A and B are shown apart, each in its own frame.
Chain A
Amino acid sequence: MAKVFFTSNLRRHVDCATAEAEGATVGEVLARIFATQERLGFYVLDEQGRLRKHMMVLIDGGRVKDRDKLTDPVAASSEIYVMQALSGG
């Protein structure tokens, strides 16, 4: 299962412990986590399921490429970091 870490800045607004979930793409992994944490999901993705403009996701150290549909592939051993971009403050 891929492991997902959330920026500590999110914790001021919503619970977001490090989580593990299955999925072939980063979108599938996040969808499994957000299915039970809907409020957290809306802090990371907009209502169309796209990564918010000033959010950033790293997959094994690499920047996510598909910000709209989150189709980037992930492995069972992948580490996914949900972070803030430096823009948007």
Chain B
Amino acid sequence: MAQYVMVSTRKGLFEVKKRSKGWEIASADFLGDNVTLSLHDPRDGATYAALNHGHFGIKLHRRDRGGKWQEIACPKYPAKPEGLNDLDGWGKPVDWSTQLIWALETGGRDEPGMLWAGTMPGGLFRSRDRGDSWDLIRSLWDMPDRNKWLGGGADIPGIHSICVDPRSSKTVRVAVSCGGVWTTHDGGKSWEQNAHGMHFDQGPEGVADNPHTQDPHMMVQCAAKPDRFWVQHHCGIYRSADNARSWQEVKASPSSFGFGVVVHPKDPDTAWFVPGIKDEKRIPVAGALVVTRTRDGGKSFKALKKGLPQQHAYDVVFRHGLALDRTGKRLAMGSTTGNLWVSENQGDSWSKVSSTLPQVYAVRWA
């Protein structure tokens, strides 16, 4: 089946397909509603959409192959134990309530129906029945180190990246803003910190390099070489070649600051980023939007700009706003100013699909 792009925006979910004239918006669902993330499950053809209604809370919908959207269960936190002084790293009380579904991934190929969801305020949830019910992973939530986690771009901590290891579905790594990288090798029974080597630019020794408070903005794993990872961190770009046990920083031009990262499914040395001015401004350098690509594991980066606006462009691409298809050739990118582009040549050139979409939160290939 031809691939298409699902675009989650502040005012609906759009499907973008290739037609005779090029890439076009083929359909719109949940128009007017705040769709924050979507997921296509290639194992059974189902599609999922996470919504964040301003008044009515977080909701999750599923569309089975050939079917219609239906609301399904939402990850919910259990009752907070009476008297528990549960504080985050800033010392603020943690509200046991789902504020955002910030990550949504399928389980392994050997786990039909299993889904993972990362949320704010930091809970990881698992469904074994295609989202009809969810369980909070208590081993991670009840871990004392969770109380070291901090809010990053948002006021509260959250899990935005989930990597299910293709070698063993029992191995799952999650990245937390701001709580580093956590790995389980036993299907969520126990966890270890894996953000060693990351650091903040400023701060006293012991704080700047504390793995428990690192802010990886996005983490991805190479499907064919799963010991290789990339992270777009708040303070730069990191790579790991040893299953996330250690991380090394690499530098990109025009900037190493950004939110999203994607890695080629077969070539772990090839990855893409969307740079911006660090850190308070968060706009493209010199008003020119570029995508940076490395093909040599971060030794060098090329700024790709053909087809992207190079004057007075103030697009920000959120962490889920850049996506690569399963062939490793097609990229899709959506921005905060409602621009959407597709590249069919690994970013060498880009075609604008729309400049009038609502604010784009996430793009995904289906």
Query: A-side interface residues toward B, CB under 8 Å?
Result: 9-10, 13, 39, 42-44, 46-48, 50, 52, 54-55, 84-85, 88-89
Contacts and interface: CB of A to CB of B under 8 A. Distances in A.
**Which of B57, B74, B76, B79 is the most central at the interface, judged by chain A CB atoms within 10 Å of its CB?**
B57
Interface in B41-84: 53-57, 59, 71, 74, 76-77, 79-80
A84 B55 contact: yes
A50 B95 CA distance: 11
Given A39-B71, A42-B74, A48 B80 contact: yes
**Residues of A contacting B: mostly:** loop
A89 B54 CA distance: 5
27 contacts: A9-B55, A13-B53, A13-B56, A13-B59, A42-B57, A42-B74, A43-B53, A43-B56, A43-B57, A46-B57, A46-B97, A47-B77, A47-B96, A47-B97, A47-B98, A48-B77, A48-B79, A48-B80, A48-B97, A50-B97, A52-B55, A52-B57, A54-B54, A54-B55, A55-B55, A84-B55, A89-B54
B130 to A, nearest CB: 18
A13 B71 CA distance: 9
Interface string B74-115: 101101100000000000000011100000000000000000
Contacts of B71: 13, 39
Nearest to A39: B71
Contacts of A47: 76-77, 96-98
Interface in B309-348: none
Contacts of B56: 10, 13, 43-44, 52, 55
A44 B57 CA distance: 8
Contacts of A89: 54-55
A9 B79 CA distance: 29
Nearest to B56: A43
Nearest to B57: A52
Contacts of B53: 13, 43
Contacts of A55: 55-56
B241 to A, nearest CB: 41
Contacts of A10: 56
Contacts of A88: 54-55
Contacts of A42: 57, 74
Nearest to B96: A48
A44 B56 CA distance: 6
Given A9-B55, A47-B97, 5 more contacts: A46-B97, A47-B76, A48-B96, A48-B97, A88-B55
A48 B79 CA distance: 6
B352 to A, nearest CB: 30
A85 B76 contact: no
Contacts of A50: 97
Nearest to A46: B97
A41 to B, nearest CB: 11
A76 B98 CA distance: 34
B314 to A, nearest CB: 24
A18 B53 CA distance: 22
Nearest to B75: A47
Contacts of B59: 13
Contacts of B76: 47
A68 B55 CA distance: 16
Contacts of A39: 71
Closest 9 CB pairs of A and B: A47-B76, A88-B54, A43-B56, A54-B55, A84-B55, A46-B97, A89-B54, A88-B55, A52-B57
Contacts of B80: 48
